[in-house]
Structures are given as C-alpha cells and as structure tokens.
Amino acid sequence: MGARPRLFDFNQERDRIIRDATERVFQIHVARAEANPSQGLEYLLNEAAFRELERLTRFGPDDEIGEVGSFGFWRGLARRVGSAGEGEKRRVLKRLVRSYLTDIAGNFDPRVYQFANQVLPVGLSLLFNAQGGGVPGSRFRRLRDRIQIEGDLDTLRALAQRGTMIVAPTHLSNLDSPVIGWALKEAGLPPVTYGAGKNLFTNRLLSYFMHNLGAYRVDRRISHGIYKSCLKAYSEVLLERGFRSLFFPGGTRSRSGEVERHLKLGLLGTGLTAYARGLEAGRPDKKLFVVPMTLNCSLVLEAEGLINDYLRAVGREDFLLPNDPFDSPAEVARFVTKIATMQTSMVIRLGEPMDILGHRVDAEGVSYDGQGRPVRLETFFEGPDGSYGLSPERDRIYTRQTGEALVEAYVRETVILPTQFLAYVLFEAARRHFPELDLVRVLRFGQDLHIPWDEVNAEAGRLQAILREAVRAGRIRALASVLEKSVPELIDEALVGLNVYHAKAPVEATGQGIRLGNMELLCYYGNRLRALEELA
C-alpha cells in the first residue's frame, strides 16, 4: 500500500478538524446574516429550534445531542431568540456548531483497523463458505472468488499516492460499507473515512468498529441548515487535510434496484470546494480524484423491504425501514450463508478515475477532456482577474456536471449478473402479457403467471444479444457467464440464484416453463437493466 495511510493520523488531528470546521460554519452563517439581515441569525436559530423540537417530540429524549441538545435548551432558545442581542446569538450559534461537529466527528484507531482486517475476512469467509469444506487458508481464496474486485487497480494505487481520493459507490445494502472497506484493502488501496447513518450505530458491535474506523455520524433526522452546513464543512476540512473519503452519492440505498441516476450533490460538492480552497491557498498540486464504484450483487439482503418501500411511497424517502433484516444478525448470517452457494455473489467494480470536474485522469494525475487532450484543471477555477477561488454559482454548475459524469460512469461500470438478467426477462414477459396495465397491476396480476420455455429462451437469447453488443460498445458490463453461457445454462444458473435466499421465491421452474412468484423481487432485480433501455 506504500506510505502510511493518512487516516492513521486522524486522531492526532481530530480536535483541530472540529475547530476548523466550527470556525468555518460559524463564519459562513455570520457573513450570510450580515449580507442579508432579513435572513439573519435569528431566522437561522429559530428554524433550528423549530425543527429540533419537532424531532425530539417525535423521537424522544434519546435523540438529544451533546450539551446543547436537550428539549429544554431548544424550548428556551425558541422563547428568547427574538429578544437576544447579536452577541448572544453568535455565542449560541458557535456552541451549537461545536456540539454538532463533536457528535459528527469520527475516530480512527489503527489497532482496531489491524484487528478488523484480521477478523473481517475470516468472518466473511466463514459465512460465505459455510457449506464448503477445506482448510481455513483456502477460505480466503474462496472469498476472493465469490467477491470479484475489478478495475484498473494499478492506476488507482498510483493516484492514491498523488492526491486525495473520493470513493463514490452505488448503494444497495447496509452491508456495503464493511464490504467496501474489505475490498479497498484487498485492492491495495488505503482506508477511507465515510459518513454513516446514525441508525447504524445502534448495533453496539458494529458501532464499535465503525466509530473506530473513521466513520462519522450522519443524523438524517436533523434537517435544519446549521446541521447540514456542519456536515459539509466537516467533509471539506477532511478533504482539504488529505483524508480520503467515501460518499454514497445516491444518498441512500437504491429502493428500486435501479442504478442511481439522481444524485445528492452536497458531499460531492465538498470535494470541489476543497480543491478550490487549495488553489486559493496557492496549492494547485493538492488534487482530488473521484473513483466511481459500482456494487453489483446477485442478491440483496434487504431487497424485499427496499422494493416495497419504493412501491409504497414513490418519491418519498423513509430512511428507517420497518423490520429491516439488517437489524437482525441471524438474518444477515442466513443471507450470507445462502449466497455462498452461488458462483459469483458480488462484483465490485472500480471505474475509471476522474478529477473533481469529471474529467478522466491518468495514473500521473493528468486530466483529459472528452477528446483525450490534456487540460489544466486549475484554469477552470480562474476568475476574470486571473486569481483562483470559490464562486458558488459556478461551482454549483460544476458539481452538477461532475454528478452527470458520475451517473454515466455508473451505467458504464454496472456489471449485469445472471439473477438480474433473468429477472428482467421474466418481468418484461409479464408486462407483455398485460400491456394495458400499469406497474402496480402488473405486480398484482403477474404473480402465478406461467411463461413457457419457448418464450423464456427466445427473450433471453434476444436480451443476451443486445447485452453482448452493448458490452462490446463499452456502454455497460456483464459477468462472463451472462455473455458466454448458452441460454439454457444461463437460465439454470439464474434460477438457482434467484431462489436461494428469499422466503417467498421469485420464480418456480416447471416442466413447461417458469411460474412467476414474488413479482416485487423480479421487478427489483430486473430494474438493474433499466439503464440498458436508455442506451438502446
């Protein structure tokens, strides 16, 4: 891995990071209040008090944060903020910001990291090979067989030494973060810090590892402006100080199973801000690189809950799913044990790295435009007077463009697996049987529909040909077995995979064809190929 990972220095710098971020958030809000007195600190603090009282009423006192987070504090603030002087408002703002940032800030213990690196592969190996035999050493190899890590790893390793890396994966499951941690180690890449939903810290064991491995806490139930700017500032300061980070730009697990297309750009924008601030400080060499990563899973632990959540409330995001199987260690173990029977459980694909504006970069860190010509990244941040710096309007457009480049990379780097392939074939067959019905009715009436083998084989063959062409053109990827196996072999592999874990089987093979079972799951897994439709 080369030099000592930057994250190993985190604890020595933690207080300084909190102090810098606190000062930044404080200054931003004071400057805004001075520039626009009608939206001054009173407005900001009032909004925070209103939303915090609402949250504490809903979730109870367990949700209090630090010294300033009690119900009484917020009620008192709401009552007196109108008559408070500017000095008092500023003192309250600073206290609040410091308190939030102390709660957000993570921790990194190298001893826990070394320990985790020893136990995580063993744990995963044992689980992934529960049905296999052999000596413990062989289990490590088997794990690597089951979880494939792909990409130009040499370039990524070189870049990791040249600048600050931002890993930007797609998001399917709460298992993603530990698996990515393992994959980065396997790939010879340094560890990263990342924001994890506070709900994940409720599991004591998991919380211990996450808290000591650089994860910082993100409470998605806090929705006011001060907290959001704390999160952004924390991420900016980390990146400016060279701490490699991981963001899930989709914001949350993909509910529909589709590859993310609508990204939340807030954290991605912190990378751009960090680079621009480096330029302001006369450090054009402090580069940041974004590494798109796709997580491609044959089966997803939370698939049923996620797709039902999507179907129940399209457009609304509930971050805490009822009866989330991730909350049950036994269910997680059952899931991992079951998918161990599959030939390939997961493909983690690290895409072509890009700079903070979405340009392709090479191993030397040189950026290239769409025509393959080198570009000087710093020139994009140059103002009319030749100086470098931040420009909120311009940088917002740049961030959106980087997000667009990331979405394109996600499609290009998505790896289609047999289960997704067959789910798509069968769900589309159901749609053809009910051409007049909308999605919800297809889900209802498609159950128990029998698709004859002739139709399954013909449609699978047709899709395989389309997929081969798309893969040849570099527009998407697919597992070799999807492209190379005969259609019957591919369907056999996918049938086994689809039915291996879920309580209500998605499909049932009969002598005459395939009977559709759990339509929601077919919809969920098949949705991975929706990106292909747009390419066609």
Chain positions contacting another protein, by CB under 8 A = 357, 359, 369-371, 373, 375-382, 384-386, 391, 393-394, 397-398, 401
The token pair at 315 is 């457009």
> Toward another protein, which CB reaches closer, 58 or 373?
373
Smallest distance from the beta carbon of 406 to another protein, in angstroms?
Answer: 16
> Toward another protein, which CB reaches closer, 75 or 394?
394
In 323-449, the DSSP E strands lie at 346-350, 354-355, 360-361, 367-368, 374-375, 415-416
Element (H, E) at 195: strand 193-197
Smallest distance from the beta carbon of 374 to another protein, in angstroms?
Answer: 9
> Toward another protein, which CB reaches closer, 378 or 455?
378
Query: Are the beta carbons of 491 and 499 closer than 8 angstroms?
Result: no
> Toward another protein, which CB reaches closer, 261 or 394?
394
> Toward another protein, which CB reaches closer, 322 or 392?
392
> Toward another protein, which CB reaches closer, 273 or 499?
273
CA-to-CA distance for 103 and 521, rounded, in angstroms?
38
Smallest distance from the beta carbon of 387 to another protein, in angstroms?
Answer: 9
> Toward another protein, which CB reaches closer, 322 or 386?
386
Residue 204 burial (C-beta neighbours within 10 Å; 0-12, 13-18, 19+): exposed
> Toward another protein, which CB reaches closer, 242 or 365?
365
CA-to-CA distance for 25 and 230, rounded, in angstroms?
6
DSSP calls for 421-433: HHHHHHHHHHHHH
Smallest distance from the beta carbon of 30 to another protein, in angstroms?
Answer: 25
Q: Give rounded-to-5 percent helix, strand, coil for the chain.
A: 60, 10, 30
Smallest distance from the beta carbon of 276 to another protein, in angstroms?
Answer: 12
Residue 483 burial (C-beta neighbours within 10 Å; 0-12, 13-18, 19+): middle
Query: Are the beta carbons of 103 and 222 closer than 8 angstroms?
Result: no
Smallest distance from the beta carbon of 40 to another protein, in angstroms?
Answer: 25
> Toward another protein, which CB reaches closer, 369 or 489?
369
Smallest distance from the beta carbon of 408 to another protein, in angstroms?
Answer: 13
Smallest distance from the beta carbon of 380 to another protein, in angstroms?
Answer: 3
CA-to-CA distance for 8 and 397, rounded, in angstroms?
34
Residues contacting residue 343 through CB under 8 Å, at least 6 positions apart = 481, 493
In eight-state DSSP terms, residue 415 is: E
- CA nearest to 294, candidates 208, 387, 138, 179: 179
CA contacts within 13 A on the Cβ side of 65: 24
